[in-house]
């Protein structure tokens, strides 16, 4: 990690005042659930974790210089990572997203596949990536060991807990070990088991201002023009803005806009022909089709502010159809069939 906080300057004034006050009073929540678009909350949770472990924090901000902060950059022994597990076969096909890659750059690290789940774990379970805890049962074993100093459990993709691992985690939250703080993240509270929600302090991540996002992108060596354009489209989401500013993404964005354009009209021959001819929908590796649809969802979100009121209903239906197609592909449907079904559902 860099010497300064990865989220410094991106938090709107007052957004975390309640947590800062709780930290000052020694009453920081035992379980915090941060809700934010997928991937956007990860750097904020990471900085909170470092602040909680820091010997000389300023509010929630770590000093960056104490021994604990320096250990944090390469993997702190009192920070436990509970992340979605992937098979060895899947690990060879996806971009790595484990703790060591998150610590290197939490803003641009690859995200785990939506289909991957946080395992319940147990004896003989090995994590996919170094530093990860081998499932919830493995975590319980780690936390059972006495420790006088503060410990942090980071669960940035809590929506990927399945029923069994959620129930196992709940047992820990019901009787949490002393000095342990759980930092969870999810796109919405509804994506997390209600009993876990009820034992967590909820905190919504407020979007950053346009100026804050532009300043962030400029520190990432993005040109002023590209930063202004990306910040405008991302609507307060720094990670999305960083993705928008990448020249490599422009061809995917163009294809995503083509898909949205097809969805706006009832030309079945043109739409089906485009789907059948699309190379990214024919590939055995589904990442290309998933990226196309994920990009389309971002493009749709950026259109909301400029769309005529009478077209908002259609835009919302396109969003829902695109989300369903993405879910179907994640659950192993053929991309061409999933997108054909989405288009037909719009114009039935």
Decide if 45 contacts 52 (C-beta within 8 A): no
Q: Whole-prediction pTM value?
A: 0.78
- Tokens 């379980």: give the residue: 31
CA pair distance 239, 107, nearest whole angstrom: 6
- Tokens 């559902």: give the residue: 345
In a 13 Å sphere around the CA of 213, the CA atoms on its Cβ side amount to 27
- Tens digits of pLDDT across the chain (348 residues): 444 447 988 988 888 999 999 999 999 999 999 999 999 999 999 999 999 999 999 988 999 999 999 999 899 999 999 999 988 888 887 888 899 999 999 999 999 988 899 999 977 788 888 899 989 999 999 998 877 899 999 999 999 999 999 999 999 999 988 899 999 999 999 999 999 999 999 999 999 999 999 999 999 999 998 899 889 888 899 998 998 898 888 899 899 999 999 999 999 999 999 999 998 898 777 878 988 998 898 888 877 767 678 788 999 999 999 999 998 988 889 999 999 999 999 998
């Amino acid at each position: 990690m860099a010497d300064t906080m990865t989220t410094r300057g991106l938090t709107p004034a007052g957004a975390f005042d309640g947590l800062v006050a709780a930290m000052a009073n020694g009453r920081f929540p035992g379980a915090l659930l941060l809700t934010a678009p997928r991937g956007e909350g990860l750097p904020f949770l990471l900085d909170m974790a470092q602040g909680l472990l820091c010997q000389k924090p300023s509010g929630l901000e770590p000093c960056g210089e104490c021994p604990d902060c320096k250990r944090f950059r390469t993997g702190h022994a009192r920070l436990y990572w509970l992340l979605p597990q992937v098979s060895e076969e899947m690990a060879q096909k996806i971009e790595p997203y484990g703790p060591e890659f998150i610590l290197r750059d939490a803003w641009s690290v690859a995200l785990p596949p939506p289909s991957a789940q946080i395992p319940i774990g147990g004896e003989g379970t090995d994590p996919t990536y170094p530093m990860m805890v081998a499932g919830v049962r493995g975590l319980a074993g780690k936390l059972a060991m006495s420790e006088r100093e503060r410990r942090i459990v980071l669960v940035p993709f809590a929506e990927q807990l399945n029923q069994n691992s959620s129930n196992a985690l709940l047992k820990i939250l019901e009787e949490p070990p002393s000095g342990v703080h759980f930092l969870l993240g999810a796109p919405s509270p509804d994506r997390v088991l209600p009993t876990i929600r009820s034992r967590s302090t909820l905190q919504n991540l407020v979007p950053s201002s346009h100026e804050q996002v532009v300043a962030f992108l400029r520190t990432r060596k993005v040109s002023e023009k590209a930063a202004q354009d990306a910040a405008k489209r991302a609507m307060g989401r720094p990670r999305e803005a960083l993705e928008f500013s990448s020249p490599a993404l422009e061809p995917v964005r163009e294809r995503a806009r083509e898909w949205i354009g097809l969805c706006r009209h009832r030309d079945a021959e043109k739409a089906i022909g485009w789907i059948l001819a699309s190379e990214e929908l024919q590939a055995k590796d589904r990442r290309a089709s998933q990226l196309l649809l994920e990009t389309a969802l971002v493009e749709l979100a950026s259109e909301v502010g400029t769309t005529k009121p009478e077209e908002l209903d259609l835009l919302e239906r396109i969003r829902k159809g695109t989300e369903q197609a993405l879910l179907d592909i994640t659950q192993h449907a053929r991309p061409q069939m999933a997108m054909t079904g989405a288009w037909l559902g719009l114009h039935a």
